[in-house]
Amino acid sequence: MALSSAGVVPWMMQELLQLLEMAPLGQETETGTLPLAAAMALHKIMQHSQYGPQVRLFFLELFMALIFQLVSSGSLEPPEVTAVTEDPICPSAPTSAIRILVEVVHKLLQCADLDHLVHAMDSHKLWEQLLGAATWQDGLRSLARLMARECRDQSVHIFSHLQKLLWYHQLQWREVPAMVLYTELHRSLEIQEQNGRAEKIFRKHICSERPESQELALCGLRSLYAGRMQLLLPDVLTWLQDTRADVKLQAMQLLHDIMAHCPGHVQDALSQLAVRLTSCFNEENTELRWLSMELFAQLLAAPGRRQLLQQVEMNLLPLFFHMNEEIPRVAQAAQEALTRAAELLRWQQLQHLVSTADMWKIAECLVQKAGSAVQQYVQQSVRHLHSPQASMQEAAVCFLGLLGRQLRSENPQKVQDIRNALQSVKEDRELAMRCLVLQMLLNLCVMVLSVTTMIGGDWVSIMYNGIMACGGLSFLGTLVCIYFIIVFVCKNCIL
């Protein structure tokens, strides 16, 4: 009845197009059945050849909407894909809705006089690729290449339509397939733009919430800036400050390419890059930690690296802690960066110790060379006391013990700060870690007593100071401490 009314088809096409763009077919939401209803209505209209001219007016929009529906309508197993592409429509089949979509795309291409494209898609088994859960992206790329070869003029129009969608609209569930098709058409058609719209689109989507879009945008920028990657350095610096780990990863991968192809061009930005990279050493994302240390090591071998001396000195201890990581490739990257750092500082002893991975001697070397960096070392160690990795917690506890031993006579207040830091983490730890923390606290107690004795304190004040040094321990822990304190006092009295 609706189709019998004059001029109603264009209006219906607009409405159906909006419904097809609303959500993936069959999505379980309040509006999830509307795209399916739209596909069925469109299938009915396409069966009437007299409406062909009116349908062709909406070819670009409909073709894109249907293709996006095909690749977003759910994950199909191989038997289901076969059922869609080979068997006739069966209303009771679970894949009947997708089968309707395939039929509509066939009809739409024929209506637009693109029968040769239909034949090419069939012969290349593109339908199977587009419907496969693991192959739909490859299917879209193959489709873009086929279109560029079989119907270039229509492909240019589709490219322009995609460009408008990606620039002016928030595509949500359609974003990733749109980006896949757009980037492949951009490459296949070899379009030379004057307004730089493609670059703007890639820059927009490199900060997308969808990692797939970010990766595609990064690939697009790499293609646009082939041979002049250094021009993207300002963008890298901006993206490295993003709060999202995946955006930082894209920036680091881009920086990796720049360092590989034109290392000399990063000289003016070395200090800024070093600050950005070292701020990522403690990220939760393993890939981010690993890549940041690997790139930092590369900066330490770049032209102009002497300007990084301050950054190197500030990150010696964090790199040492990360050499203790439980993840081998991160620990290896930290070792390489610390080796380069020691080489830059011309600390041959440290460079040798790092190459042999003698953790205890590395820690002693750093303590001996602490100098004015003591307060910084204490703060950095305290941060790593709260690491989620037990091996790094252990390294931080041991380093604080060494640092306290070094400071026992020259800076008792710093020893007190170290003791407070250890006391703050002795609870809520594994038994082995609690024992290690208590051991370090006992060592620090003995140091306090030793200093008190040397300055002439009586045994009562020594006992009091020792117990206060162990304040906050459990009852049993305190008894153990008192025992060692009494033994220490008696020994000094006999001597």
The four Cα atoms 451, 453, 456, 459 give a dihedral, to 10 degrees, of 140
| pLDDT score at 53 | 84
Task: Annotate 475-491 with b (16+ C-beta within 10 A) or e (fewer).
Answer: eebeeebeebbeebbee
Q: What is residue 227's predicted lDDT score, i.e. its pLDDT? A: 85
Give Cα 147 to chain centroid, integer Å. Answer: 34
Q: What's the pLDDT at 446?
A: 57
Residue listed under structure tokens 């208590």: 438
Q: What percent of the chain has pLDDT over 90?
A: 48
Backbone angles phi, psi at 76, to 5 degrees: -105, 140
pLDDT in tens, 77-91: 667 677 776 654 554
**Of 335, 317, 319, 437, nearest to 380 (Cα)?**
317
* pLDDT for the residue 332: 97
The average pLDDT across 350-357 equals 93
Give the pLDDT band (50/70/90) at residue 493: very low
Q: How confident is the model at residue 295 (pLDDT cuts 50, 70, 90)?
A: very high
Unique residue bearing structure tokens 């229509």: 154
Q: What is the DSSP string of 40-63?
A: HHHHHHHT-GGGHHHHHTTHHHHH
Q: Characterise 428 by phi-psi region: left (phi > 0), alpha (psi -120 to 50), beta (else).
A: left
Contact between 381 and 403 (Cβ < 8 Å): yes
pLDDT for residue 465: 47
Q: How many CA atoms lie within 13 A of 132 on its CB side?
A: 15
Collapsing DSSP to helix, strand or coil, 3 comes out as: coil
Residue 159's Cβ-side half-sphere holds a number of Cα atoms within 13 Å equal to: 24
* Entry field: residues in the chain: 495
Per the model's pLDDT, the better-predicted residue between 333 and 86 turns out to be 333
d(CA 13, CA 21): 12
pLDDT score for 231: 92
Determine the average pLDDT of the residues in 168-190.
94
Quickly count: other Cβ atoms within 10 Å of residue 19's Cβ.
19
* Lowest mean per-residue pLDDT among 120-124, 135-139, 424-428, 482-486: 482-486
Over residues 352-367, mean pLDDT: 92
Q: What is the pLDDT of residue 451?
A: 44
What would the pLDDT profile of 116-132 be if each residue is shown by its tens digit? 999 999 999 899 899 88
Burial 72-102 (b: 16+ CB within 10 A, else e): bbbebeeebbebbbeeeeeeeeebbbbbbbb
What is the Cα–Cα distance from 456 to 458, expressed in whole angstroms? Answer: 7
Higher pLDDT, 484 or 255: 255
pLDDT score at 144: 96
Question: So what's the pLDDT on residue 452?
Answer: 44
Distance CA 70, CA 25 (A): 8
- pLDDT at residue 352 is higher than 80: yes
Q: Is residue 335's pLDDT more than 60?
A: yes
Q: H-helix or E-strand containing 121?
A: helix 115-123
Q: Is 132 helix (H, G, I), strand (E, B) or coil?
A: strand
**Cα 350 to Cα 364: distance, rounded to the nearest angstrom:** 10
Rg value, the chain, Cα: 33
Cβ-based burial of 338 (10 A; exposed 0-12, middle 13-18, buried ≥19): buried
pLDDT at 450 over 70: no
CA-to-CA dists, residue 288 to 120, 244, 283, angstroms: 43, 11, 7
Q: Give Cβ neighbours of residue 224 (< 8 Å, ≥ 6 apart).
A: 198, 199, 202
Secondary structure class of 76 (helix, strand, coil): strand
The first and second tokens of residue 178, run together, are 């749109």
Residue 103's contacts (CB-CB under 8 Å, 6 or more residues apart) are 43, 46, 89
Judged against a pLDDT cut of 50, whether residue 443 lies above it is answered with yes
pLDDT value of residue 463: 45
In tens, the pLDDT along 1-53 reads 777 776 888 899 999 999 999 988 867 666 668 888 898 899 888 888 788 88
Output phi, psi for 193, to 5 deg: -95, 150
pLDDT band at 490 (very low <50, low <70, confident <90, very high): low
In DSSP terms, which residues pair with 76 in a beta bridge?
132
pLDDT band at 484 (very low <50, low <70, confident <90, very high): low
**Predicted pLDDT of residue 460:** 42
Per-residue pLDDT, 96: 73
Distance of CA 14 to the CA centre of its chain: 40
Has residue 157 got a pLDDT over 50? yes
CA distances to 437, 450, 459, 468 from 465, rounded to whole Å, are 19, 11, 10, 5
pLDDT bracket for residue 240 (50, 70, 90): very high
Portion of the chain with pLDDT greater than 70, in percent: 82
